[in-house]
Amino acid sequence: MTSSNLDEKKLSNIFKLFPEIKLVYFFGSRASGKIGPLSDYDFAVLLDEKDAQKRFKTRIEILSKLSEAFSTDKIDVVVLNDAKSPELKFSIIKDGKIIYEKEPYKVLFEPKILNEYFDFMDGLKRFGLTKNI
């Protein structure tokens, strides 16, 4: 199932159950159409919640609802608030597809991720840890 045939209305109804969800990306092999036997459903969520324990609990609840909706446990949910890797976050906003958004959170969130990623890459280059682009 690629992003073009995801049941976005069904997903939207699930995400609406969680008022703290502000933005959801669908990413990974299924989103790009490169589905293999080990492919799972990858979602990244931006939550309006400051408490890390509450974010973790929400992640588990989202996983449960999505697993039920897709009738599989091959679901992964990344909480963008907690993702440490600038490369992962950059990849999600670059290659993923927004499938749910409350208000214009993309315009607030994505520039921060781009700045973080380019600062990270600049640091790697400065210390000779990567090739110059």
Instruction: Tell me the whole-structure pTM to 2 decimals.
Output: 0.81
Q: Which of 7, 42, 48, 73 is catalytic?
A: 42
Domains of the chain: 8-127 (3.30.460.10)
CA end-to-end span of the chain, whole Å? Answer: 34
Q: Which of 40, 51, 73, 119 is catalytic?
A: 40
Per-residue pLDDT of the chain (133 residues; tens, 9 = 90+): 444 457 889 999 999 999 999 999 999 999 988 999 889 999 999 999 999 999 999 999 999 999 999 999 999 999 999 999 998 998 999 999 999 998 877 777 787 877 777 677 777 777 777 765 5
CB atoms within 10 A of CB 13: 13
109 — alpha (psi -120 to 50), left (phi > 0) or beta? alpha
User: Is 95 a catalytic site residue?
Assistant: no
DSSP state of 31: H
User: Is 40 a catalytic site residue?
Assistant: yes
Cα–Cα dist 76/67, whole Å: 9
The pair phi, psi for residue 73, each rounded to 5°, is -100, 10
